[in-house]
Each structure stands twice: as C-alpha cells, then as structure tokens.
Structure 1
Amino acid sequence: MDNRKNILMICSWLDYELRLGSFFMDQALVLSDNFNFILINFRPVKLKPKNFNKIFKIEKNIYEDKVTILYLYYPVFKIFKSNFFLKLIEKKAFRVLRKYLKKDKIEIDLVHAQSVFDAVFWALSYHEEYKTPYLLTEHNQFTLRNIRKPKIKKLDSALKNSKFNLVVSNDLVRQFAANYFFSDFVNVGNMVNEQLFNNNNRKSSEFFEITTVGAFAPIKDQITALRALKIIDDLNYPKIKFTWIGINAWEIGSEDEVDSLISSFKFKNIEIEIVKLASKTEIVLALQKSDVFVFTSICETFGISPLEALFTGVPVITTQSGGVNEFINKENGIIVPIKDSKAIAENILKILNKELQFNSELISKNAISSFGTKAFKEKMIPIYNRSIA
C-alpha cells in the first residue's frame, strides 16, 4: 500500500519535450520516495474553432517512470475578463483535474506553487476551493512591471495564506522587499543532481577550454564574454576554445543573430563552438573537459549553470549578478563587476597561465555538500511534512 502524501506541484513553466522546467522534474524525482508528485502546467487556449478539442483537456507524461506530468488546457477570452468569469473557468479546470486524479484514487494533500506568476494564483484558488494547504517557491526575477493592481492585491493574500514562502536566494528576498512584500521568506537554495553532474570523469583537451551555458538574451549579456575573449584573442595565445551551449534554450531561431555577433569580433586565434540546444548529459560532457566556466549575466536569482559547473569541478568566473554570491568563493572561482570584460579576461589569463589554480575535487565536493540531493532533501522534507501537518 502506498502511504505517500500527494503533492500537486503547479509549475509556472513546464515542457516535457523541451525539458523546460527540468529542475522541477528533477526535484520531484529526488523526493519521490517520500512523496507522490503530480506536476501540472495550466495552459491557456484562445477560443477558436480549431482549438475546441483542446479546451479543458489533460495531456499526460511520465518522467523517469516516477513523476506524473500534466498539461491542463483552459479557455481564455479577450472580451470576458471579469473576476467572476475567471473564477468559473478556474473551478471548471479544478473539477476536470480532480475527476482525472480520482481515477487513480489520488487526493491532493499539498499544493506547491513554483514561482509567483502564475502558479501561486492557481494555488491560492485551489486552496480557497478545497482548503488544501499550499506553499510557494520563487525562482524568477520578481518584478511588478505590467501587473495590474487587483493581481498585486491578490498576491498579498497568496503570500499571507501560504504555509511557507520559499526563495532560492537572499537576492530574491531583497527583490520582494523592493516591491514592498515583507514575508518570512525561507532561503532553500537550489539543487543539482550529483549522479549526473560530478567530476568523476574529467577529461583533458588539446585546447584550453572556456565554457558558458545560457540562452542568447540581453539579461545574460554574453557580449561581455565575447569582448573578454577578444582581449585574449589579440594576445595570440594558441589552442584556446570557447563553447557556448544553449543559445536557443529560451527561443528557437537565435543562431543567425549569434553568428553575426561573433563574426563582428573577427576572432583569429580562439576557436568558437556554438551549441543551439543540449541535453544535460551533453552539458556534463562539455563541462568535464572545461578549464573555466564564464558567466556574464546581469541579474540572476540563483544561477544554476555555474553551480552545475562547480559540481563537475570547474572553477567559475562570474559577474556579480545576485544569487551567485551565495556559492562562489575564493576556493571555487571569482566574482567580477557586471559588464567588466577586462576583469573577466584578466582572470581567464591567470587560470590559463597557472597564476591562479583551483582544486577540482574540492570544488565538486563542497558544491555537492551544500546543494546536492542529500542537502536538498534535508531542507524540503521537513517543510513538506510541516505544511501537510
């Protein structure tokens, strides 16, 4: 008999095929021996004749034979935006969901909203309808830009009624405070699975390997990394390679713009490799032959990519973008000001010339100790149990 409590994890973004929101899946998987997880993403559908067959339809996937993933499609109408009408749609969506879960005799014991927009609003409505307790974890940059006053007021209620308001960094606490939300936030950090990301199979390369992972986007500011590489390129060092992984992670079709950008720098000595999309296994293989990981983001709530690099024993040179301050130190990397391409270049050269050296095994060991699966379970299991109790 399965005595595990059932947790409905509402994800603000989730795509099984693209592995968008894959860390939601991985976190649920790690905790699946203790709890039964149903991950759900509510997906709006514009009311058109060709979309009728999707309205209030549920699609199902199974992750690693353990975690259920659901998409629930619901209708949206431009002309009907009253709170009363939206409530009717929510109630209908919940009835469809509960009927679907009832087939497997699943009664939800706890709702976990992953990020404010818009998961926590669904969680609050579910709580109001069925009295089910819920909690929130915020991962995203928190901003109220383009958010209407009724929704801001509702967010205040959502934070007050939540059993726990979790964040992945102290920087997020400051972001909430800057928008006048002062809850008792609990910083739980983030998680990387050391079964995949580790330094057990590090390989040597004929090149000095510089790696970054991130979608091509202004907030990631990869142009600063390219400017740093240009400084190094002009010094005529041989056998240097820069690998940029995941330019299309957020939006397909960035390759032409990235190619044009890189061509504008006219690199003569540094070899550039662009990877549009990559699986986690492919990212691990790239990291395990890297000499340094460069991260030039302007603003991050946490910074999962540099943490993955640390798990594989790679030192990180990162801009002071927020959450990274909580896990980058002198033993595993260097923090420089945002947009400071000169400082990035100088520190890459220090590692290249062995003026600055790091212990790969120690980097990996310390990262896993603080943010591996064991540490994550020790943080989350008591929180779930207390929320349900």
Structure 2
Amino acid sequence: MVCSWLDYKLRLGSFFMDQALLLSEDFNFTLVNFRPVKFKIKNFKKIYKIEKDIHENKITLLYIYYPVFKLFKNNYFLKLIERKAFRILNNYLKKNNISVDLLHAQSIYDAAFWTLSYHEEYKIPFLITEHNQFTLKKVNRQKIKKLDAIFSKSKFNLVVSDDLIRQFANNHFFGEFVNVGNTVDETLFNHKNKTQSDYFEILTVGAYTPVKDQITTLKALKVIDNLNNQKIKFTWIGINAWGTDFQEEVNELISSFDFKNIQIEIVKIASKTEIVSALQKADVFVFTSICETFGVSPLEALFVGVPVVTTQCGGINEFMNDRNGVVVPVKDFNAVAENVIKIINKELQFDSELISKEAIDKFGSNAFKEKMIPLYKQALEQ
C-alpha cells in the first residue's frame, strides 16, 4: 500500500493499517509513505532514508524521505528524485525478501502519483482507493495530465462512497468506480460493554477544523443549554488529531458560549480504546461536518450502538437510516438541538443492539473482506 498520509505515532492513516491487518491472512502487506523534506543542511541526514514502524507486530510501515526544492521543478530532475527514492525502497525490499506483486494507492494526492511512476518504472499492476475530498484546486498541470493515466491504467478505481463519484464527475472524470466503503474493527467497537452515566452524554470525535464545523455543534448545545436543566455532559475528542495544538483556541471558543448547565470535556487526542470507552457511555453522537467522503467517526458510534445526529455532509449516506439516527441540513444547529432534545426526552428512541448489528453486518470485517479480496485477486490475475 502506498499511503497519502501515514504516521503510526500520531495514528494518521490508522484505517490503512487496520485494513492491511484485516486482510493479512490472505495477502502480505508493506505500507509505504513518501515524505518530502526541504533541501536544507539540517535535513541532510534524513534525505533518502527509510524509517520503519510495525503495526500490531504484523504490518511493516516504511517512511521514505525525499528532497524537495522550492524553486526548481524541472520534470527530468523530479524524475531522478523519484527513481532514487524507488531504488532506496527496492533495496530495502530486496534485503528483507519482499517481492511486490500489486500496488494499492490509498488516495490520489499524492499516493497515486507515486504509484503510477512506480508502475511505469517496474510494470507492477496497481489499483487506487480514494478516501479524501477530490478537487483540482491548487493541483499543478503536470499532475492533472497524469490523472487520466492513473484512472486508465489502474486495475480498479475504488471509492469509499457514492459522494466521491459525484465529486469526480464535478471535475469531469466519468470512469467506472467501485464503491467499497470503509470498515471499523468490531472486536473493539461493539455493543457488548455499554454503560450508564450519571449524565446524559453527548459525544463528538474530530479534529478542530472549519470543514468539520464544530461551531454548529456548540451552537446546538447552547440552544439545549438554554432550554434544558438536566445533567448533560458534552465530550469532544480529538481536537488535535491532525497534529496541530488547538487547545487554547478551542477553550476560548467554548468560553464564548458561556454554558450554564452543560459540563464540557475536551480531549486533545485519544487512542481507539479511549474512544470506545467514551462511546460505551454515550447517549448520542453529534456530527456537524460540512463535507465528508465517508465519516468513520459516526460509523464507529453506530458499531457501539450509539444513535447519531448528523448533518447531511455526503459520506454518511452510506450508513445512516431512520433506525440509527437523524440527518439534518448542514449548519442547521436548531435541527441538531431539536433532535438531541427529543432523544433526551425519549420522544425519539433507538434500539442500540439493532444499530450495532446493522452497522457491523454492512461494514464489519467480513463484509470488507468480501469486497476487497476478490478485487485484489482479479487485479493480480489480469
């Protein structure tokens, strides 16, 4: 797997690692992330070096550092940099008796471009999965020209939601796409250990960023705070999940709402085990993103049997229905508040076991294997 983003310590790209682990009984995986470093004296020791991590003592992760030059972007020179990075990678693979039969690019920017170059150099078949928002904004002409080659030479063009197919169409790419969705580890995220809190527990998970639009969540909480005097707790997990410290900014934002009746807990970053613990006592999961390609966090909530109140942000269409929660318009904080209050007052009730079962049946490990294993085998046979 060539991954557009990957960091074991920061848990970036954790679902790439989990998917590789899930499929490791049938295939041997090495995950690769090509990392640019500025061509400066202080970086010389890193350039063209490989760092290694191991996930769950089974999956090897390789970070390959290559130099970038701010002003010098000659195509021939860039090709030399690519080939040098590939030689470093291949020497490592050869030394460790790893042969490559198939490449899987996880997202187009920039994994698919590295994968296309590797394919052209060594004739190894590849497929791609797009996870991220797809746009041509700020993409240089050289890469735009390569996109047609990526789509045409890939054995399969996979997406995690139908919404991504629409995003490709908006950018004038109308090829064949296979929707494989995403997956969550049901051995960790499940309904077995649900607990009861002294509070009505509202939970959200996500990095603090405009596209996640947590301000709409806070506006909804303010409406609830003004209308309700029950013991309510709101927990926001992962404000720093994308690597930037937003603690001070988030604290100031929350203070500006002057909540009277709602207890607030902010968690900068959390492990999956810690997220599961929070979900097991949650009464509702609130998700007010503007635009998603899938929405792993609300799906994790469903796996644990927690009903979800979410905005119509795109990717959630893969798993939301009237048995597991409510979908409201983007930025409509009044609709978010109204439905959370209905759940507080038991005007809206959901079957937690049914929520969990339906989510796991559709997106659990068995379902994901049934989608991916035939695709890998077909790609290898063609």
TM-score (norm 2): 0.99
Please name the residue that 1:4 is paired with: none
> What's the secondary structure of 2:73's corresponding residue?
coil
Structure 1 runs not aligned, ≥5 long: 1-8
> What's the secondary structure of 1:54's corresponding residue?
coil
Please name the residue that 2:306 is paired with: 314
Structure 1 runs (4+) greater than 3 angstroms displaced: none
Does 1:112 find its partner at 2:98? no
Task: Find the partner of 2:35 among 40, 43, 64.
Answer: 43
Once residues 170 and 305 of structure 1 are traced to their aligned partners in structure 2, the CA distance between those partners, rounded to angstroms, is: 18
Does 1:388 find its partner at 2:362? no
How many residues are aligned here?
Answer: 381
2:374 alignment partner AA: P
Please name the residue that 2:262 is paired with: 270
> What's the secondary structure of 2:29's corresponding residue?
strand
How far 1:252 sits from its partner (Å)?
A: 2.3
Please name the residue that 2:170 is paired with: 178
> What's the secondary structure of 1:314's corresponding residue?
coil
Once residues 204 and 141 of structure 1 are traced to their aligned partners in structure 2, the CA distance between those partners, rounded to angstroms, is: 37
What are the residue-to-residue correspondences of 1:43-82 with 2, within 5 Å?
43-82=35-74
What are the residue-to-residue correspondences of 1:18-29 with 2, within 5 Å?
18-29=10-21
Q: Which piece of structure 1 moves more, 201-210 or 51-60?
A: 51-60
Structure 2 runs not aligned, ≥5 long: none
Does 1:226 find its partner at 2:223? no
Deviations along 1:111-130, one digit per CA (max 9) or x if unpaired, are 00000000000010011000
- Indicate conservation of the 8 Å contact 2:31/2:59, yes or no: yes
Once residues 50 and 142 of structure 2 are traced to their aligned partners in structure 1, the CA distance between those partners, rounded to angstroms, is: 29
How far 1:253 sits from its partner (Å)?
A: 1.7
1:316 alignment partner AA: V
Does 1:133 find its partner at 2:108? no
Deviations along 1:208-246, one digit per CA (max 9) or x if unpaired, are 000000111111111111111111111242211100000
Deviations along 1:45-102, one digit per CA (max 9) or x if unpaired, are 1111221111111111111111000001111122321111111111111111111110
Cα RMSD, aligned residues only? 0.8
How far 1:251 sits from its partner (Å)?
A: 3.3
Please name the residue that 1:154 is paired with: 146
1:222 alignment partner AA: Q
Please name the residue that 1:5 is paired with: none
What are the residue-to-residue correspondences of 1:255-294 with 2, within 5 Å?
255-294=247-286
Deviations along 1:337-368, one digit per CA (max 9) or x if unpaired, are 00001111110011111111000000000000
Task: Find the partner of 2:348 among 317, 332, 356.
Answer: 356
Once residues 229 and 96 of structure 1 are traced to their aligned partners in structure 2, the CA distance between those partners, rounded to angstroms, is: 52
What are the residue-to-residue correspondences of 1:184-203 with 2, within 5 Å?
184-203=176-195
TM-score (norm 1): 0.97
Please name the residue that 2:370 is paired with: 378
Please name the residue that 2:205 is paired with: 213
- Indicate conservation of the 8 Å contact 2:10/2:243, yes or no: no
Once residues 270 and 55 of structure 1 are traced to their aligned partners in structure 2, the CA distance between those partners, rounded to angstroms, is: 50
Once residues 162 and 138 of structure 1 are traced to their aligned partners in structure 2, the CA distance between those partners, rounded to angstroms, is: 12
> What's the secondary structure of 2:98's corresponding residue?
coil
